[in-house]
């Protein structure tokens, strides 16, 4: 029996779970050159990093380590399973503890998630921001390398963050941190 075009488009897409995605990764289904993440059940490619992106991730890591101190660990590009269908790999995630605390399992949340955006700007500003808010990430920073600013998102709700501020200079003190981070350092 052959399906017509309309019935094919009405079928819901297959949603993958974090557990299934992890098994695929462990089985080597994705090659070492494939950089993918699981967002709301979809396996999506991640944008390749340009040199500025990599430098800003490094600078932000150092500044956040200083601002948060030794009680927190800054994870770089590692998975954070947020629910059964989403395991994003943010550029940075500030989590309590130290690396040794996460030998067996990835953290299920973070105090702060940071995305450095160039090619992924609309995705980071839209779908990712909504995912982080919906799953209760208290603070989300989007470092926009095109607009040369940092968007700080706070007060998460099901439909997005209720408090979004744009910073082109100065400094911002992350929630839960003892120090501030210079926006000028992040943007160069």
Q: What does the alpha-carbon distance between residue 183 and residue 171 come to, in Å, rounded to a whole number?
A: 5
> pLDDT tens digits, residue range 67-110?
999 999 999 999 999 999 999 999 999 999 999 999 999 999 99
| pLDDT, mean over the chain | 92
Pick the closest to residue 53 from 121, 99, 107, 106 (CA basis).
Answer: 121
pTM confidence score: 0.90
> pLDDT tens digits, residue range 107-125?
999 999 999 999 889 999 9
Proportion of the chain above pLDDT 70, given as a percent:
95
Quote the distance between the C-alpha of residue 17 and its chain's center: 18
Question: Domain-by-domain residue ranges, the chain?
Answer: 47-187
Q: What does the alpha-carbon distance between residue 31 and residue 47 come to, in Å, rounded to a whole number?
A: 15
- CATH 3.90.1570.10 assigned to domain 47-187? The reply is yes
Asked if residues 92 and 57 have their Cβ atoms less than 8 Å apart, the reply is yes
CA torsion angle for 82, 83, 85, 88 (degrees, to 10)?
Answer: 0
SS3 108: coil
> pLDDT tens digits, residue range 44-67?
999 888 899 999 999 999 999 999
């Amino acid at each position: 029996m052959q399906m017509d075009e309309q019935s094919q488009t009405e079928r819901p897409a297959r949603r993958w779970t974090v557990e299934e995605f992890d098994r695929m990764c462990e089985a080597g289904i994705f090659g070492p050159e494939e950089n993918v993440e699981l967002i709301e059940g979809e396996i999506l490619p991640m944008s390749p990093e340009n040199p500025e992106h990599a430098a800003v991730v490094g600078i932000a890591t150092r500044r956040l380590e200083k601002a948060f101190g030794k009680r927190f660990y800054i994870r770089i590009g590692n998975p954070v399973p947020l629910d059964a269908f989403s395991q994003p790999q943010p550029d940075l995630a500030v989590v309590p503890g130290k690396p040794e605390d996460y030998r067996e399992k990835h953290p299920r949340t973070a105090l702060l998630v940071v995305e450095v955006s160039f090619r992924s700007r609309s995705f980071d500003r839209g779908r990712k921001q909504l995912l982080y808010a919906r799953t209760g990430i208290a603070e989300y920073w989007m470092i926009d390398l095109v607009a040369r600013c940092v968007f700080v998102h706070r007060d998460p709700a099901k439909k997005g963050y209720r408090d979004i501020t744009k910073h082109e200079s100065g400094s911002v003190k992350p929630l839960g941190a003892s120090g501030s981070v210079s926006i000028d350092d992040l943007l160069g």
